[in-house]
Chains A and B, each alone.
Chain A
């Protein structure tokens, strides 16, 4: 009796540490994304190098957390909600890592634009707005995961539609712009790739939220029209 209680509380501790690690990785990704956006807004390409270097840390964290998940499954054979937590986490870290990659892409795009001496100009505002929405999504998705808060997760899933709509309108604007003045094509293509990366970050935040719903309620709402409530 004592022995098993001891084991189970240590198991709880393992799970809670795992969660904290995931959130730490999430925090790093949040910072990466906001630093990339900051670089886009201010044109300070010195920070691009830091972002690219920090991305390695994100990748290492993904591997370490995946390893921990495998260990927990092998050693503890979790069931029910514990198992869902571990499975969910192993998917969440994949999405977080990809969001980190997108941040790196943004940073590199920023370097291309500013090194070429072109300024994002009038598209600065639209893209920044899009980026802030995506950043808020990822923040809220991580909060929802920390608090296992499904209504919050549902909000994030809803917000993804807005980000998609906004992304499309930016693309439309840029296309018109390119047709009017072909000299802007190089910059516009870079801006499109940045906007696309931001939109993908929103998608990853949505995926994280879907995993939160799965962890809490055991319902798999990916690729369905089912509402998260």
Chain B
């Protein structure tokens, strides 16, 4: 700084040294003019640099354009470095923040960060979808303005976050969310949202299963016990005795088939993966058709079409029982005169086994639960028809073990279509 002042004074002295002789020998005014011109030159020099700095400060860019002259060069250089460091630091931090957000995005749970006033600071896409938020428009919005369910508002205001809140999602989808509030950075709160729809469903299924097994087994047992009591206490003639014993045999057979199905189900669940032996589909479909005709007793029109170009890899007994189950259902639930169509054909991706009927159909609300154990659309009818309520559960499990998807489409009063879609890996081309 001192050197700058000395330099400025020296330059002023220099101009006065030139000006003095001029003023002395030529004229007063000429001397003054030369002196002023000297100072003016110095000012022009400084003003040029000042203008450059002024221009740059309006729109600071980090490139080589920031260059000063003379004493200005040092200042410009320092400014330039400072700006450059600052920018590098900001870019670095931006990167870090971006990675952090990417990590939050990657979470499968929903996350919403709130500030001190319960306003949304950040949420990931999972949370956006779960709660119907949109970060771009909803940042800074109090979260209770958008998630308005009274239970949620009360939970957030109550301040007791020991247990998570279970909330039924109101936004169209029938989902159950479990919301956990975690404090962070002092009094700020983080909402952690888990989708527990599946867990809740499984819980219900398990509860239903135990209740159903006991109920299903108790019904025939009650009948058996009733007849036994009658036989013990009352002297019956031979014919009556026979009739009662027949009924008892029927009930015990029924219990046996339930237990058998339960065992099948549990053995399928714990069995090793099915083999990859080739199953001859043409003859299998033909066998299914004959079985269906026998079961129908000529009351239905049975059609079978098998694509001879491909076969299936898997465990034959399991597949036969699954397919036979679907066919038997179709025959059972189709009124006399209806058509049951059994098809096996190659698809773009894999192959499909389908059973189509013109039966009574199933209401849409039952379809997602059809494969649950003991789930029945119409309790009375299914039991009269001799079902154990486990058939489709077994079918689904067997198919799942073969990586197949069971697809059910149905229109009440028109008919149903049960299709097992096998992936390409399970299909064998016939040479």
Contacts and interface: CB of A to CB of B under 8 A. Distances in A.
Interface of A: 16, 19-20, 23-24, 26-28, 30-31, 34, 136, 139, 142-143, 146-147, 149
B148 A23 contact: yes
Contact of A16 (B137, B138, B142, B171): B142
A107 to B, nearest CB: 16
B137 A24 contact: no
Contacts of A30: 148-149, 170
B142 A26 contact: no
B144 A23 contact: yes
Contacts of B146: 23, 143, 146
Contacts of A136: 172
Which of B137, B146, B150 has the most chain A CB atoms closer than 10 A to its own CB? Answer: B150
Given A136-B172, A139-B171, A27 B138 contact: no
B141 interface: yes
Interface string B99-141: 0000000000000000000000000000000001000011001
A28 B171 CA distance: 15
Contacts of A16: 142
A28 B152 CA distance: 11
Given A34-B170, A139-B170, 5 more contacts: A20-B144, A23-B144, A27-B150, A142-B148, A143-B132
A10 to B, nearest CB: 14
A27 B171 CA distance: 12
B278 to A, nearest CB: 47
A147 B144 CA distance: 12
A20 B141 CA distance: 10
Interface string B140-169: 011011101110010000000000000000
B141 A146 contact: yes
Contacts of A143: 132, 146
A31 B149 contact: yes
A201 to B, nearest CB: 15
B148 A27 contact: yes
Contacts of A19: 145
A146 B170 CA distance: 17
A24 B132 CA distance: 16
Contacts of A147: 137-138, 141
Contacts of A31: 149-150, 170
B138 A24 contact: no
Nearest to A57: B150
Contacts of B153: 24, 27
11 contacts: A24-B148, A27-B144, A27-B153, A30-B149, A31-B149, A136-B172, A139-B170, A143-B132, A146-B141, A147-B137, A147-B141
Contacts of A139: 170-171
A34 B171 CA distance: 11
Contacts of A23: 144-146, 148
Contacts of B171: 139
What 10 A-B pairs are tightest by C-beta distance, nearest first?
Answer: A27-B148, A146-B145, A23-B145, A20-B142, A28-B150, A147-B137, A146-B146, A23-B148, A31-B150, A27-B149
Contacts of B148: 23-24, 26-28, 30, 142
A23 B171 CA distance: 16
Nearest to B147: A27
Nearest to B141: A146
A30 B146 CA distance: 12
A34 B172 CA distance: 11
A147 B142 CA distance: 11
Contacts of B170: 30-31, 34, 139
B129 to A, nearest CB: 15
Contacts of A20: 142, 144-145
Contacts of B132: 143
A27 B144 CA distance: 9
B122 to A, nearest CB: 17
A155 B161 CA distance: 38
A21 B394 CA distance: 53
B375 to A, nearest CB: 18
A18 to B, nearest CB: 12
A28 B146 CA distance: 12
Nearest to B134: A147
A149 B137 contact: yes
Nearest to A54: B150
A165 B148 CA distance: 29
Nearest to B152: A27
A85 B235 CA distance: 89
Which of A24, A27, A34, A146 has the most chain B CB atoms closer than 10 A to its own CB? Answer: A27
A31 B137 CA distance: 24
B327 to A, nearest CB: 32
Interface in B32-73: none
A136 B170 CA distance: 10
Nearest to A132: B172
B367 to A, nearest CB: 16
